[in-house]
Structure formats: structure tokens, C-alpha cells
Amino acid sequence: GSAAGPAVPRYVRLNTLKITTNEAIAYFKRQGYTYLGKARSLDEVAELGQKHGKRFLQDLHVPDLLAFPPGTDFHKDTLYTAGHLILQDKASCLPALLLSPPVGSCVIDACAAPGNKTSHLAALMKNKGRIFAFDLDTKRLATMSTLLLRAGVTCQELANQDFLTVKPDDPKYQKVSHILMDPSCSGSGMPDLMRALGDKNGPEQEKRLQSLSGFQCRALSHALSFPSVQRVVYSTCSIHQQENEDVVKTTLEQNTNFKLVNALPSWPARGLNTFLDAGCCLRASALDTFTNGFFVAVFERKSDGNESSS
């Protein structure tokens, strides 16, 4: 544990393009791990963090996600190096899961690198349809390209481009129905980063958060401007209201043709009660949900003639 909360389990997302959950469970049993079954409550997941030993669970919220004791290291595991396992925190699996693009659909991953959520989307889409993935950072995009190759993802089209310059009226994006918006953020939900930076509060931090939230609002509104988009998921690994609830509130005020969907109602930690419907958003933290700090909001286009009600 630390100031950021207790140690979180080692989560392992199974890449269903390459392996089934049953195959993976059998594999880990052969490696000497005891399988405790599918968790029935968050408490069972939390208990993994308190005891040591080679044990694992299947998660209760995210299908195809396994939880191991904190610190379990799979970086040298042959299933990891072969792209069957994705080492991804549980909270960061929620955006793709909640976007839930149908098999064969047309999707944009707006800020995509290094691509863990892209490969999750591709798995949910069974590699059918199209994912247009953008990122500004050339290096991160190169890493992403390698990771997607290893994961067997084939439905992507990567572009080293500022998402804000992607034209919503380009015929290429005419059928885009689902967009994942996971923009740059302060990273304040990541325990390692916070430990390294220390707790900085003050005018400098406030300025940085204002600048980040300005970009986040612009990027999110740009996503909502694509002509056929039905569903947009906004996520950050930040714990700050300025980058989370405040961005969602401003975006809803500026885009009255969209409403929030109640994201994963069984999830216990909700958005801070700063505006009507903020409880539709979800939050994650080491203390409440045994994950890294995280935030997710799900936007859906209102059906025609339904602009003022929700």
C-alpha cells in the first residue's frame, strides 16, 4: 500500500483473438496457480491483494479478465510475448467494454497509442469492420504498431495525425458509429506517476489542469460532431474533477443532441455529484474498486425529436 491506496491486483486481459478464457485458465493451472473461480464480489478481488501465493480469479465486471496477486510479473511469460495476454489495469478495460462496438462496425480510436484499448476493441469486433486509430506521437504509434501485430489485430488503420484535424465530413468516416476518446490527461490516477511527482497542489498545477481540460473538451466535442456517431466513450486516468466531471458537464451543455448513459450500473464508485446525471459517470480507485484511478463517461446520441428530454 501507499498514499495512493492499497496495492491493486495484477490484472491480465485475455486477448480473445488468440486464446479463450478456458484455455488460459487451464494454462495458469499448469503453471501452478490455484484457480479460485469467478469472483462474486469486489471483496473477493480485494482479498487477492492481501494474501500472497499463486492464486487467481476471473473478474466479475470485465469478461476475459483475470486477477492475480499484486506484483505478479508476466512480462517474460510466453503467452504474454506471443500476444495472448494483455497486461492492462481493470479500469482501463472499461472504455472499450462500454463502447461495445458491434462486430463489423466502423470505429474511431481518437487518441490511441500505445493501443491497449484498440486491441480490446478489435477483440470485441472479432477483427471485423474498421478501426481508424489516431495519435500525435510518432514513437508511441510505432510501439502501437508492434503491439497490434503481436496481438493479431488486422482491422486497424493507423494515422500519425492530430485528431482535431480529422474531418468529420470526409466520406471515409461517413459510417463511423462509435468513437473512443481517451485523451492525454494529468495521469493523476496512476499510482507510480503520483509517487514520482509527489503531491503538487498550487497555481502551476491548476494552470496545467485548465489547459488539459480545454483540450479534452475540444477533442470530445469534435468526436460528437461526426455525422453518424451514435456512441462516444470518454475516459481519463485522472482523479481531478477538472478533467472529468467538468469536461463532461461542459460538453453536454455544448452538445444538446447527446445524453449520458448510466455506465455499468453495478459499478459502485460514481461521478462526483457536481451536475444532474453526474452519477451516470463512473470513477475507479485503489480504495473503492481495487484498480488504478480512472474515470469513464458514455455519451449517446438522442433519438430524433427527443432533443430536450432524456
Residues noted as catalytic: 237
Q: Which is nearer to ligand SAM, 136 or 193 (CB)?
A: 136
Indicate the residue whose CB is closest to ligand SAM.
111
- 226 close to 179: Cβ distance less than 8 angstroms: yes
Strands (E), the chain: 10-14, 34-38, 55-58, 65-68, 85-86, 106-109, 130-134, 156-159, 178-181, 231-236, 258-261, 282-284, 294-301
Supply the minimum distance, in Å, between the C-beta of residue 3 and ligand SAM.
23
Supply the minimum distance, in Å, between the C-beta of residue 115 and ligand SAM.
5
Cell representation of residue 292:
488504478
Supply the minimum distance, in Å, between the C-beta of residue 261 and ligand SAM.
20
Supply the minimum distance, in Å, between the C-beta of residue 30 and ligand SAM.
30
Q: Which is nearer to ligand SAM, 46 or 94 (CB)?
A: 94
Cell representation of residue 99:
463502447
Binding stretches for ligand SAM (CB under 6 A):
111-117, 134-137, 140, 162-164, 182-184
Supply the minimum distance, in Å, between the C-beta of residue 99 and ligand SAM.
12
Give the rounded distance of the alpha carbon of 182 from its chain centre: 7
Q: Which is nearer to ligand SAM, 137 or 277 (CB)?
A: 137
Among 45, 46, 47, smallest CA distance to 57 is for 45
Q: Which is nearer to ligand SAM, 136 or 272 (CB)?
A: 136
DSSP class of 164: G
Measured CA angle at 123 (ends 172, 141), to 5 deg = 60
Q: Which is nearer to ligand SAM, 138 or 266 (CB)?
A: 138
Strands (E), 182-291: 231-236, 258-261, 282-284
Instruction: Name beta bridge partners: 106.
Output: 130
